[in-house]
Amino acid sequence: MNALEFILAGMLAAATPFLLAALGELVVERAGVLNLGVEGMMAFGAVVAFIIVHQDGGHLLGFVAAGLGSAALSLVFAVIALGLRANQVAIGLAIGVLGQGLSALFGKSYESLTVKGLPRLALPWLSEIPVVGGLFMQDVVVWLSLAATLAIWATFAYTKLGLVIRAIGENPKAAHAIGYSVVAVRFAAVAFGGAMAGFAGAYAAVVYTPLWADGMIAGRGWIAIALVVFGTWLTGRIFLGACLFGAVSLMGLAAQATGLDVPSQVLASLPYLVTIIVLGVISADRRLLKLNGVASLGEPFER
């Protein structure tokens, strides 16, 4: 397998933690809420899933528990930020630190332990195509994440629920005036975002790298938040961005395999360098941000 085949075969799996967390944050931000605690919620979901799978509870139970645990953590954010109308940036950062602290605490006794991952499911015929066939050999969570991407895109594009979420994010006072519960919808959006962050962390811990190590999320939550801006709050662009970051994260391994004489620290920093560059380019286009941005993002709602 050459470097290109290696990157294509692993790109979707590497992109899945970014994609799941970014899709959840997309729904949260579309509702007008800014939750910066994604990194901590991913870390908490990761440790919950790893403990359950290591105790022979199974991957399904591990993912469900990770989603519920991270959703509960996100609701702590919702109660303080939405119920008490505290500063969303400060509370989000605090929740992120709390999630990482809980992850380190609960995972201390599982350090360096491993679990069994999930088998890959190949699409007939397509997986046999030269060079790109690896794209069609993925585990079930990757396929489900692709389905979730389509479902969220269709929800925002064609359903009343998507329209309500977008309306609340753009003008919560107008949405409240015509009878929609702004706070309830935002609570639900935050819980959904937390669950998706938990799923992302669970995938990273028990499927993609089925080994527990403190700090294993390694900034993926922050990249997921950046992906929402990178994708200008559009589902399709977020998916493409996740694939880009997934491919970039594998380039370091591919470079090392080819014997390229580059320090491993430089290769490991590639996703973060790309994040900075891309955000700089996107931020320079004010028209694009204004066209697709969320008008009331981060602003507290008062009846």
- Tens digit of each residue's pLDDT (9 = 90 or more) over 161-186: 999 999 999 999 999 999 999 999 99
Say what the pTM is: 0.92
Give the pLDDT confidence score for residue 285 in this predicted structure: 66
- The CA distance from 11 to 86, in Å, is 39
Residue 124, in any domain of the structure? no
Residue 264, in any domain of the structure? yes
Give the pLDDT confidence score for residue 95 in this predicted structure: 96
Residue 189, in any domain of the structure? yes
DSSP H/E element including 137: strand 137-139
Residue 131, in any domain of the structure? no
**pLDDT beneath 50: ranges in the chain:** none
Number of domains in the chain: 1
- The CA distance from 13 to 156, in Å, is 25
Residue 85, in any domain of the structure? yes
CATH number of the domain that 211 lies in?
Answer: 1.10.3470
Give the pLDDT confidence score for residue 284 in this predicted structure: 67
Residue 300, in any domain of the structure? no
- The CA distance from 121 to 123, in Å, is 7
**Domain span at residue 243?**
3-112+137-292
Residue 191, in any domain of the structure? yes
Closest CA to 189 of 158, 155, 214: 155
Q: Please report, for residues 35, 193, 234, 289, the alpha-carbon distance to residue 30 in angstroms, rounded to integers and kept in the order given.
A: 11, 11, 10, 13
Residue 132, in any domain of the structure? no
